[in-house]
Structure 1
């Protein structure tokens, strides 16, 4: 009887670890999450998991994040769980001021948890400060035998003598090796550190690819053998342009950082990228914080921005805006909802689409015509600018169709640029019959024009004195 009992216990234990290792699909109905809101748990309380990260354990996603006191000081790292990523059950405060004397006066940010299948421990890393300023700049570690149990404090430290550690994330590779990625050297560098076998200490720095670029808020994930690093710039609580880089080895070489999304991350700062794996494959969910401090409040006033990441090629990535996101954890799908309609703008003379070159999200990326496709860099949404004018917003980047340098001359280039109130980003659709329109720039009274009436892929978009040419006429085709 004892032998049979032990066998059953062992089988149950192995089943749990198999679920942890394989990430079998969560069984939950599809849900829709509204962006730029605060979430509530099953008791109706606000979910405080700011700067947080997630881990799959069994059929649940566990979400850990910052929970602050009313005066913005550290209260706890709180843990929640869900099968569908919308219905959140509060589990407990897994780390508090009472967990260790070092935490009595401290500030804890960006907690992340990974599971060590060798030791059987859940390991949390975080950014630790002294509670009054950002001069301590240390990493810290706590461990637990269960994913949502009380975490035991293991202390705080820096990666090496003289090297600071602030915004950070964790990443566990396919071979079980774990890494901490941290904003170091006074935020000037973004360093990748290999951890020891038990995940509780630094082993060695394996890469410092963007020295001197001042990046923070890292999120690292791997897709089809390619590593993606998503980051923000340094601007305090104010949101800024997010950027990403890729590599086929975590040690590099890494690409240079490239812009992604609009110039504010749609008002948010990246905190984590969650792979959502299911029966139809794996999707990647951008998780961002719209910090309350940027809106005159505190961390606990923050809202969440969750968006689907899309991948035009194996090594390029989009961060499009949607007011809602539909998530099906069983299927493994994450899709944007609402915000449209979305249009292709098709040149009458060539039947080619208004396109942003190379799917770029950079300011001043070239507007051109190209064979129509399903790419988000050929999809446009219209924002009312008043007086019968609209802004024409690229869906892949959240940036606006713009006459360069506010020029009023014939031949001035048309590009994409971060959206402003400038009239060089405001366009009137003038009906030219048969479903075609001229797009007239408000600041100049001139028309969007395919240069030289070219029918070739890559022909530039310019402004030109309005005429009857079909290279100035565009069909607004609903996607």
Structure 2
């Protein structure tokens, strides 16, 4: 298959591997935020192509499908829009919904085929869109939007069996009471139309489906229907796609809500030494969809035990040629040794690293400071381990707690981060909702002075309801990238 000269230049430019940092603000080679949500990744002649929803700031629909390329899954070059909205189109206009795009190469046609959930702004069409292109980056030409075998189609996924090359669609068929199934349906040989239903996951009321394949098993991952609020993703297992499929189980520690992410796609990296399976999830921010983050994590699969778990790593290094990944080791600084200012204080917490957590972090008057931090003088990742108990509710929060009936959900607290007292450069740290006693982490890239005399001070910024930062357990400082 033909690839452009720009991709060859990219290969040389990113020969040095970079770290993968789940939940970080990922930027492309031009310095812009990567904007490719709920899509998929394909590999073509040694290059990875990432397709996803392009979210326009301030709106949910009408952005089209973006495309990026990489040779290491960490350094991404933007190729703009693979599928652009068309004014006046009944299916891909700026007012239409173009969600969960997936691309596959069709050997029969020699083209790249894109499929997605095609809808209007009221979700009244429930169709699958189809477009084709001669190259991975496109542009893709719209072909049609159809009801799959006469059925409804909402959240959309795609899977290609690496053993026989057959491609399948996965789709939930709506939110109405009579449409709470997920269908697994085969495509014809050309991947131009659906062929037949292979299996139906009945009445589990799930969405965001994806399948990962091992030598012995198929694992289907799906999320519950909670809109942009994260939940506990579940998995099913089967020996064949037609089933029988197992009962579902939760794939990440309970109440982490799958590390505040939703399933979107899974990727098999077959290397020269081992095979690594990646969970490619979306960390949606309903306050600002266009800058939602990505949670890409290894999956620990044991076919003998018939289990699959998503593993959390703050920072890891993946070699796509060998298939090996290695968690990067950082240095911890716990809340026990931090200092407090104003109304911030240390509180007993039997679930925290040293039995102590930092709380009362509010505005610029009540802050906490970590001292004696070792820096490299270059940008390096710092993970902030925190608890956000917004599930407990606030008196000034309309609707009360998100875990109450009718409650609202802000999904985040926002903290200010200042390095070495330099208040002219304040970094912003978004801390998603966790739960009582649940510690999660969120990363920020900071530049520390070389040596061990650095300080990091954390305060609170407004998220629309209050100026409170999340409670802090510890920070972990990672070495600069290679």
Q: Structure 1 CA distance, aligned partners of 2:331 and 2:152?
A: 44
- Within the candidate set 23, 33, 52, 2:20 is matched to 33
Q: Structure 1 CA distance, aligned partners of 2:17 and 2:54?
A: 28
Asked whether the equivalents of residues 126 and 174 of structure 2 are also in contact (C-alpha less than 8 Å), the reply is: no
Asked whether the equivalents of residues 30 and 329 of structure 1 are also in contact (C-alpha less than 8 Å), the reply is: no
Q: Deviations 1:150-195 (Å, cap 9, x if unpaired)?
A: 111111111133x211111111112122110111153611110111
Q: Structure 2 CA distance, aligned partners of 1:422 and 1:290?
A: 21
> Are residues 1:93 and 2:93 paired?
no
The Cα RMSD (Å) is 2.8
Q: Structure 2 CA distance, aligned partners of 1:335 and 1:227?
A: 25
Q: Structure 2 CA distance, aligned partners of 1:340 and 1:382?
A: 17
> Are residues 1:121 and 2:111 paired?
yes
SS at match of 1:160: helix
Q: Structure 2 CA distance, aligned partners of 1:126 and 1:387?
A: 45
Q: Deviations 1:228-254 (Å, cap 9, x if unpaired)?
A: 101111101100011001111111111
Q: Deviations 1:270-313 (Å, cap 9, x if unpaired)?
A: 111111122112101111111011xx22x212011111101234
Asked whether the equivalents of residues 99 and 153 of structure 1 are also in contact (C-alpha less than 8 Å), the reply is: no
> Are residues 1:386 and 2:369 paired?
no
User: Would you say how many aligned residue pairs link Structure 1 and Structure 2?
Assistant: 329
Q: Deviations 1:36-55 (Å, cap 9, x if unpaired)?
A: 12211111111111001000
**The structure with more radius of gyration:** 1
The answer to which structure has the higher helix fraction is: 1
Match of residue 291 from structure 2? 301
Q: Structure 2 CA distance, aligned partners of 1:289 and 1:214?
A: 19
Match of residue 320 from structure 1? 311
Match of residue 158 from structure 2? 170
**387 and 146 in structure 1: CA distance in 2 versus 1, 3 angstrom threshold:** closer
Structure 1 residues 15-30: aligned runs within 5 Å? 28-30=15-17
> Are residues 1:243 and 2:234 paired?
yes
TM-score (norm. length: structure 2): 0.64
Match of residue 216 from structure 2? 225
Match of residue 3 from structure 1? none
Structure 1 residues 176-187: aligned runs within 5 Å? 176-186=165-175
1:97 Cα shift? 0.8
Match of residue 184 from structure 2? 192
**100 and 32 in structure 1: CA distance in 2 versus 1, 3 angstrom threshold:** farther
Q: Structure 2 CA distance, aligned partners of 1:384 and 1:35?
A: 25
**336 and 234 in structure 1: CA distance in 2 versus 1, 3 angstrom threshold:** farther
> Are residues 1:159 and 2:148 paired?
yes
SS at match of 2:52: strand
TM-score (norm. length: structure 1): 0.64
**337 and 202 in structure 1: CA distance in 2 versus 1, 3 angstrom threshold:** same
Q: Deviations 1:14-54 (Å, cap 9, x if unpaired)?
A: x98xxxxxxxxxx9444311121221111111111100100
Match of residue 278 from structure 1? 271
Asked whether the equivalents of residues 179 and 192 of structure 1 are also in contact (C-alpha less than 8 Å), the reply is: yes
- Within the candidate set 50, 68, 72, 2:55 is matched to 68
1:100 Cα shift? 7.8
Gaps of 5+ in 2: 4-13, 333-350, 359-386, 388-433, 439-482
SS at match of 2:258: coil
